[in-house]
Amino acid sequence: MNFETFRSIGKAELHVHLEGSFRMERARELASAKPDHPWNGLAAEALRRRFKTSSFVEFLEQFMSGYRLLKTRDHFQMVTEDLCAEFERQGVQYAEVLYSPGVYVQKLHRELVDIHEGIGAALAQFPKLRVSFILDTVLNMGLPFMSRTLEMVLHDRPEYVRGFSVGGGQPDLDMAQFLPLFERAQEAGLFVVAHAGEVDGPENIRTLIEHTDIRRIAHGCSAARDPELCRELAGRQIAIDVSLSSNLCTGTVTNLKRHPIFKFLEYGIPVTLNTDDPFYFQTDLFNEYQLAEDIGISWDKLLEIMAFGLEFR
Ligand SMILES: [Zn+2]
């Protein structure tokens, strides 16, 4: 597959975090203005070396350093503009972008209105692109913190915020305790997605599909261990958002040739291909499709995946 052919085909990116999508030069520029930041003064190569993580915990550490780079309305505008420009470059016509304002507002004392205005100003520059933002709340912060974040966003909800998600987590986390959040988000008219089956087991995916109107599952890797669950996902046509590079970098999968995507396709579960945190995983959407092709997914299937993603517009 060559890039020109790839970009000429309309497609969607349905799982990318705003705070994981910096352009290298932008990250270095933002860090250079913060003398006490661990990335201050680092060359691109040195930063890339830092991101060669192999576990979820190591990745989160890097993610939190980057997260702290964004402070003002202009910062949020800049990184959103960078991401939208990247969507256009890749031939993305529809995107769902996760953002995590909870820690910014509740711990780092940033203003939610600045975050929302910055993002809104950026989106206004790209009228041809359709972008939905998804509020991603961090499971590890606990239910009361997540609930406050959700209420805060619902109170100041811009038109472009259309979805709710949960992310982070740990192996023994029980998703059931977070169901009231999904209920509240759905009542308020948000669609719901969730990170599940990345570090945790298939039972959390089951909880979500049984008790919420979940739109798609992000990662969902552990579902592959549970044939009954795979049949259910296929039966209900609930899609899994696959991110190949991400799964390798966080150690969720150790060999792409044995990635659960093969099981998903075998069972007839719809899948999408996504970057997740392209800055940290040093990837882009084209690279994710190339990786899929490299491990043996056919061009016809890839075209089907591109067309399928646009159905969420
Ligand atoms: Zn993610």
* Residue 79: predicted pLDDT: 98
12: tokens are 């969607």
CA of 120 to the centre of ligand 1 (A): 22
Burial class (CB in 10 A: 0-12, 13-18, 19+), 65: middle
* Residue 251: predicted pLDDT: 92
CA of 195 to the centre of ligand 1 (A): 6
Tell me whether residue 198 is one of the annotated catalytic residues: yes
CA of 301 to the centre of ligand 1 (A): 23
* Residue 10: predicted pLDDT: 98
CA of 45 to the centre of ligand 1 (A): 24
CA of 310 to the centre of ligand 1 (A): 19
Catalytic one of 13, 86, 198, 288: 198
Work out the number of other CB atoms within 10 angstroms of the CB of residue 253: 20
In three-state form (DSSP H/G/I as H, E/B as E, the rest C), the secondary structure along the chain is CCHHHHHHCCEEEEEEEHHHCCCHHHHHHHHHCCCCCCCCCCCHHHHHHHCCCCCHHHHHHHHHHHHCCCCCHHHHHHHHHHHHHHHHHHCEEEEEEEECHHHHHHCCCCCHHHHHHHHHHHHHCCCCCEEEEEEEEEHHHCHHHHHHHHHHHHHCCCCCEEEEEEECCCCCCCHHHHHHHHHHHHHCCCEECEEECCCCCHHHHHHHHHHCCCCEEEECHHHHHCHHHHHHHHHHCCEEEECHHHHHHCCCCCCHHHCCHHHHHHHCCCEEECCECHHHHCCCHHHHHHHHHHCCCCHHHHHHHHHHHHHHC
* Residue 56: predicted pLDDT: 86
CA of 17 to the centre of ligand 1 (A): 6
Given a cut of 90, whether residue 4 has pLDDT beyond it is yes
CA of 4 to the centre of ligand 1 (A): 27
CA of 246 to the centre of ligand 1 (A): 8
Whole-number percent of the chain with pLDDT over 70: 100
* Residue 12: predicted pLDDT: 98
Q: Rounded mean pLDDT of 216-236?
A: 98
Write the pLDDT tens digit of every residue in 96-120: 999 999 999 999 999 999 999 999 9
Write the pLDDT tens digit of every residue in 252-265: 999 999 999 999 99
Given a cut of 90, whether residue 1 has pLDDT beyond it is no
Alpha-carbon gap, residue 30 to 286, rounded angstroms: 26
121: tokens are 């100003």
Query: Near ion ligand 1, which residues have CB within 5 Å?
Result: 276
Alpha-carbon gap, residue 233 to 184, rounded angstroms: 24
* Residue 54: predicted pLDDT: 82
* Residue 55: predicted pLDDT: 87
CA of 213 to the centre of ligand 1 (A): 19
Mean pLDDT of all residues in the chain?
97
Write the pLDDT tens digit of every residue in 138-173: 999 999 999 999 999 999 999 999 999 999 888 999
Write the pLDDT tens digit of every residue in 267-311: 999 999 999 999 999 999 999 999 999 999 999 999 999 999 999
Amino acid at 274: N
Write the pLDDT tens digit of every residue in 14-47: 999 999 999 999 999 999 999 999 999 999 999 9
Domains and CATH numbers, the chain: 11-312 (3.20.20.140)
